[in-house]
Amino acid sequence: MRKTSLALICALMAVAVCAAAGGDEGYQERVLSYDTGVATGFKQLYAEAARVDFAPVKEWEVTYLTAASVYARRYGSGADPAKSYLNVAVTDAEGKVLAQKLVPYSKVSVEADWLLVELPAVKITEATSVVVYPYARQDFGVELGYTGESKRQRSLQGNPSAGFQPVAEKFDWMIRAVVRNKLEPLVFIDASEISGINYLYHDDGTAEGFFTFQRGGALVGFKNMGYKTLDDVFLYGRVEGDWFASKPTFRVFLLDHDLRVISSVQRDYTILTEIPHWTNVDFPDQALPGDFYILVEPVSRPEYSLLLGFDTSGGKNPNYYGTVGSFLEWPLPVLRENVNWMVRVKVR
Ligand SMILES: [Ca+2]
């Protein structure tokens, strides 16, 4: 009896783990490392670099490397530590540099410590290396910490011309990779910050769904009520697919009451992320006509898409699907009367 219930609990736990690992995974961040965290020694590298190879996180759909962490200490004197640099790079298996940063020696403590080096985010799909070139000298430099004896050699030493070899002493460099499964929004705009006076909108601030289009876009009508100027358009959405590598763009239009273009702005998908959030598109000092429309054309493709949020609190607002000059047939499974595109404008 006891055995049965234990087995049942285990089975339930397995199901729970599977559900957690499923497609709609939440935001996660990890630090990948092989070292034990306690330095057993330091090594000075003159014309060579220290390299550690990392693999993408298996359970994640996508792995982004966003920073490296290096345990190091500065020694010696004879040069200005603000004008000497170590080079921290991320490279692919062929040694091609994917991201890089020069870090002044002055950022490295004389006492040994972890140095966090933030890097331009890199999507890693195969073994990827973090490479640290200290450019040290005997009398002045930065030396790198290492730990214990390693059973699996992922620490290497060398340079691009001579090649990299596993470290002869079989230790692990104290070099770590900071990874995440999604790119976080840089700025969070709360719906309450874009509500009230000077903001026109039909949505209630929470998305009940998302939709995207390869042609045409979300069209929202606004009654002017005496405002003269448009400052910003805010939209709530997210991006998915191969947007990070392909660097697609989309367009936001200001249209007059006859759907003629007054102005338009093009933006990169990168102003959104895989986590839905509000982002703003600047229309600096744009004179407004009477009533107007905002059109957001996501220009999605099979390999990537920009999904725009919609709210279904309803209320017969002027929300449409269309393009410059025309309304198009409503493509959503949800009734048009119930949809409010999450598109807001700041006016004055
Ligand atoms: Ca809602």
Q: What is the pLDDT along the chain (348 residues), one digit of tens a residue?
A: 334 343 333 333 333 333 333 345 678 889 999 998 999 999 999 999 999 999 999 999 999 999 999 999 999 998 999 999 999 999 999 999 999 999 999 999 999 999 999 998 899 999 999 999 999 999 999 999 999 877 788 999 999 889 999 999 999 999 999 999 988 666 789 999 999 999 999 999 999 999 999 999 999 999 998 999 999 999 999 999 888 778 899 999 999 999 999 999 999 998 998 889 999 999 988 999 899 999 999 999 999 999 999 999 877 889 999 999 999 999 999 999 999 999 999 999
174 and 246 part of one domain: no
What pLDDT, on the 0 to 100 scale, is given for residue 150? 77
Q: Is 205 left (phi over 0), alpha (psi -120 to 50) or beta?
A: left
Quote the ligand 1 centre to 320 CA distance (angstroms): 17
254 Cβ neighbours under 8 A, 6+ residues apart:
230, 233, 261, 262, 263, 264, 283, 286, 288, 292, 293, 294
d(CA 134, CA 131): 10
Give distance in angstroms: CA of 207 to centre of ligand 1: 5
Same domain, 100 and 207: no
In which domain, by residue range, is 50 found?
28-180
Q: Which neighbouring-strand residues pair with 144?
A: 43, 72
- pLDDT tens for each residue of 150-201: 778 899 999 988 999 999 999 999 999 999 998 866 678 999 999 999 999 9
With respect to residue 1, please indicate whether it lies within any of the assigned structural domains. Answer: no
Residue 101 bridge partners (DSSP): 88
Cα–ligand 1 centroid distance for 326 (angstroms): 27
Distance of CA 32 from the midpoint of ligand 1 (Å) = 39
* Residue with token string 């230790």: 171
- 110 and 240: one domain? no
CATH of the domain at 277: 2.60.120
Q: Please indicate, yes or no, if residue 20 is contained in any of the structural domains.
A: no
317 C-alpha to ligand 1 centroid (Å) = 14
Q: Nearest Cα to 191, choosing from 277, 271, 275?
A: 277
Q: For residues 170 and 41, is the Cβ–Cβ distance under 8 A?
A: no
In terms of domains, do 217 and 337 share one? yes
Q: Are 64 and 122 in contact (CB under 8 A)?
A: yes
How many Å lie between the centroid of ligand 1 and the Cα of residue 17?
30
User: 7 lies in a domain?
Assistant: no
How crowded is residue 75: how many other Cβ atoms within 10 Å of its Cβ?
Answer: 18
Q: Mark whether 79 and 218 lie in a shared domain.
A: no
Q: What Rg, from alpha-carbon coordinates, does the chain have?
A: 26
CATH code: domain of residue 170: 2.60.120.820
Locus of tokens 């006509």: 289
Same domain, 221 and 176: no
223 and 97 fall within a common domain: no
User: Measured in angstroms, how far is the CA atom of residue 110 from the centroid of ligand 1?
Assistant: 54
Q: Does some domain include residue 144?
A: yes
Residues 162 and 231 in one domain: no
pLDDT at residue number 32: 96
- Say how many Å lie between the CA of residue 277 and the centre of ligand 1: 14
Domain assignment present for residue 100? The answer is yes
- Which two structure tokens, joined as six digits, stand for 306? 């920009």
Q: How far is the CA of 335 from the centre of ligand 1 (A)?
A: 15
Do 50 and 89 share a structural domain? yes
- Tell me, yes or no, whether 231 and 307 share the same domain: yes
- How far does residue 301's CA lie from ligand 1's centre (Å)? 27
Residue 12 domain-assigned?
A: no
Which stretch of DSSP H or E encloses residue 344? Answer: strand 343-347
| Ligand 1 center to 268 CA (angstroms) | 26
Instruction: Using the 3D structure, point to which of 125, 157, 180 is the last residue of a domain.
Output: 180
> How far apart are the CA of 240 and the centre of ligand 1, in A?
22
User: Based on the domain organization, do 196 and 70 belong to the same domain?
Assistant: no
* CA 294 to ligand 1 centroid distance, Å: 20
Last residue of a domain, one of 159, 180, 201: 180
Instruction: Report the number of distinct structural domains present in the chain.
Output: 2
- The CA 27 to ligand 1 mean position distance, Å, reads 22
In a domain, 302, yes or no: yes
Question: Which residue, 180, 206, 236, sits at the end of a domain?
Answer: 180
169 with 101, same domain? yes
| pLDDT for 316 | 81
The string of DSSP letters for 189-256 reads --GGGG-STTEE--S-S--SEEE--SSSEEEEEE--TT--EEEEEEEEEEEEESHHHH--EEEEEEEE
Say if 4 falls within a structural domain. no
C-alpha 206 – ligand 1 centre gap (Å): 4
